[in-house]
Amino acid sequence: MTSPRIYLDYNATSPLREESKEAVVAALELIGNASSVHGFGREARRCVEAAREAVGDLVGASPAEVVFTSGATEANNLALGAVGDRRLLTSAIEHPSVLEAADAVRLPVDADGLVDLTALEALLERCEGQAFVSVMLANNETGVIQPIAEIAALVKAAGGLLHCDAVQAVGRLPVDMAGLGVDYLSLSSHKLGGPKGAGALIARAGAPLTAQQRGGGQERRLRAGTENVAAIAGFGAACRAVGADFAESAVLQGWRDRFEERLLATAPETRIFGREASRLANTSCFAHPFLPAETQLIGLDLAGIAVSSGSACSSGKVSASHVLLAMGVEPALAGSALRVSLGWNSREADLDCFLEAWGRLYKANTEQRRAS
């Protein structure tokens, strides 16, 4: 009997939407280089610019503010390249593409993973108008949503600049760049159901930006290199497919909440992280003190169920999450954490299958502990 194949790792990457697949295939038929002035080139350019408009529309930005990149990691690095002589402040729970991109002062977070605004305000005052702050909108591991508009107000009052990694939030929450008050916003195609290999940095008009990849005039000389027209087209199609209808999120939240209630009923010792904070509707991050993450991942994979132990950007390693450690979670428990994340093609029955398989692992572990 073949095990079911159940995908519960949307925060790592989303399955490709049909609309994106069709856009990619159509763009692959285009012959021209989007920088060429002849008809073939202009046709490719129209494809890129249509996608640029779709990306901007999704976050309330002008197409002229959209810089296409190879993904969110490059977008984050491009944004942080604008730090210059300013002092960089980042939260301790940022994605590695922010934490490892530049030296920074780490902002502490509370037990729910929310940035300490009092500490931020004190650090901004010491920066004397020369702060560059980078805080994500929603955490990739816990789903906890940061109060970015409040953070932006503090940063602006102090004369600073604010970058926001919105990779996990866009498509799951209404995101308006002007409403948030940020100067830079990073996006990723494959988190939305678009293809891998495309992303964007939205840079507010007038915000300083320095090319990190040089050698050509593409993207207004802010990102050299021939555009990946097919991936960009798929990115634009994913943005259009997501649109402004977030009814799906309400459904996912209901599924997620019932899932967590059943999980706690099965194993009351389980700890759910960020549960008291506002979270993405699709994300549940939890740990059981007697079930190491690696044991769970292997057992669930054998049952045909794909989940994650945290960020997908750690070379396949299973280790204690820096996000949970920053939240004050003890290392042993942080090393047991799993993340279940849902998306556009999920079914509530997928969670039922997870709970059945996980329950077997929990029961076997409990019996083994009693026997020993």
Which residues are identified as catalytic?
313
pLDDT of residue 65: 98
pLDDT of residue 243: 77
How many helices (H) and strands (E) the chain has is answered by 14, 12
CB atoms within 10 A of CB 270: 19
pLDDT at residue 87 above 90? Answer: yes
Architecture of domain 18-242: 3-Layer(aba) Sandwich (3.40)
pLDDT of residue 313: 52
Angle at 323 between CA 322 and CA 329, to 5 degrees: 90
Contact between 75 and 51 (Cβ < 8 Å): no
pLDDT at residue 13 above 90? Answer: yes
pLDDT of residue 168: 97
Task: Kindly state the tokens that stand for 85.
Answer: 């002589």
When mean pLDDT is compared over 146-160, 209-223, 358-372, the highest value belongs to 146-160
| pLDDT tens digits, one per residue of 270-320 | 999 999 999 999 999 999 999 999 999 999 999 999 999 865 455 455 578
pLDDT at residue 346 above 60? Answer: yes
Question: Rounded to two decimals, what is the model's pTM?
Answer: 0.94
pLDDT of residue 315: 42
- Residue 340's nearest CA partner among 325, 328, 352, 327 is 352
Domain 6-15+245-371 shares a fold with domain 18-242: no
pLDDT of residue 320: 84
Neighbour-count burial of 208, counting CB atoms closer than 10 A to its CB (0-12 exposed, 13-18 middle, 19+ buried): middle
Query: Taking the domains of the chain in order of start, what are their residue ranges?
Result: 6-15+245-371, 18-242
Task: Kindly state the tokens that stand for 154.
Answer: 């503090």
Is the CATH number 3.90.650.10 carried by domain 6-15+245-371? no
